[in-house]
Amino acid sequence: MNRYPMFSPQLLISFVAVCETSSFTRAADRVSLSQSTISQQVRRLEELLGKALFERTSHEVRLTEEGIKLLSYARRIIALNEEAHDALTGPWRDGVLRLGMPEDLTVPTIDLLAAFKREHPHLRLDVTSGLSRDLHRAYLQEELDLVLVKQIRVHLPRAARAEPLLWLDSQQHPAIEQSPVPIAVFPVNGLYREELCQTLDSLGLRWRVSYSGGGLAALAAASAAGLGVSLLPASCRLPAHRVLGLAERLPPVDNFELALFYRDNASPVTLDLAERLIAFCRLTR
């Protein structure tokens, strides 16, 4: 006998909708239910767990600490439910391939993925973009089958290439000349953030986070506009950027790589896509 109460996927779908819209009203529109039904379903989840999932005020809906914990599991349960249904009853009789890659590679690789999908019409391709640390963690937890990540070589990849970085500032509104130095970085634990902060610390420069964002394009635009010094891949350089370096006592950062991971027991279609990504990204084994 199962000693744990079972989560209803419908309750979790409503819960995730509220999380992603920050509104019971908008969540109701998204899942085509009434607001009162959404409220009842969230209340049933809270009663099931014996914990409050949201802090509600007249102006906003915010997740509690318990709600934040549940959100990740809820998304995984919903995804697994959809995956099982599609694999058994849907058009995806060749299964599901779960690919993870950084946000800046999702658009450049879209033609490659479209060609791959045309050759495998009965395969469902799930693509997840996000921070490299999160993607690699999901891969280790077997939530992804194939991942491209940016890393200092800690984990030995199947294939990789160097990912040169540049210290970027604004030409018109340089941040490096300010004190403390404003910086534009990923959120805490995000890529390149620790290297940037440690370097400024080693130089005895005071700094402050002026802009924090989750996307490379946004960070590049922020630094070009003068919101802060940033450390980003060379491919992110914009015409409005000023490249900093030894003149500002900033050392080259050349220990990052773009790395591809897949398992020893990877399926033939996973290996097929891996080979295409290796060629497209010019990775070497």
pLDDT tens-digit profile, the chain (285 residues): 456 678 888 999 999 999 888 888 888 888 888 999 999 999 999 998 888 999 887 777 888 989 888 988 898 888 888 777 766 666 545 678 999 998 888 889 999 999 999 998 888 899 998 778 888 989 999 899 999 999 887 778 999 999 889 999 999 999 999 999 999 998 877 788 889 999 999 999 999 999 988 778 889 999 999 999 999 998 889 999 999 999 999 999 888 999 999 999 999 999 999 999 999 999 998
Set out the domains of the chain in order of their start, with CATH numbers.
9-81 (1.10.10.10), 91-161+257-281 (3.40.190.10), 165-253 (3.40.190.10)
- Give residues with Cβ within 8 angstroms of 229, minimum separation 6: 167, 168, 169, 175, 176, 181, 182, 183, 184, 196, 223, 244
Stated as kind and residue range, the H or E segment containing 55 is: strand 54-56
pTM: 0.62
Q: Which residue has the tokens 């940033």?
A: 230
Show the tokens assigned to 58: 């007249």
Q: Which two tokens stand for residue 233?
A: 């891949």
* Apex 70 CA angle, 58 and 62, nearest 5: 15
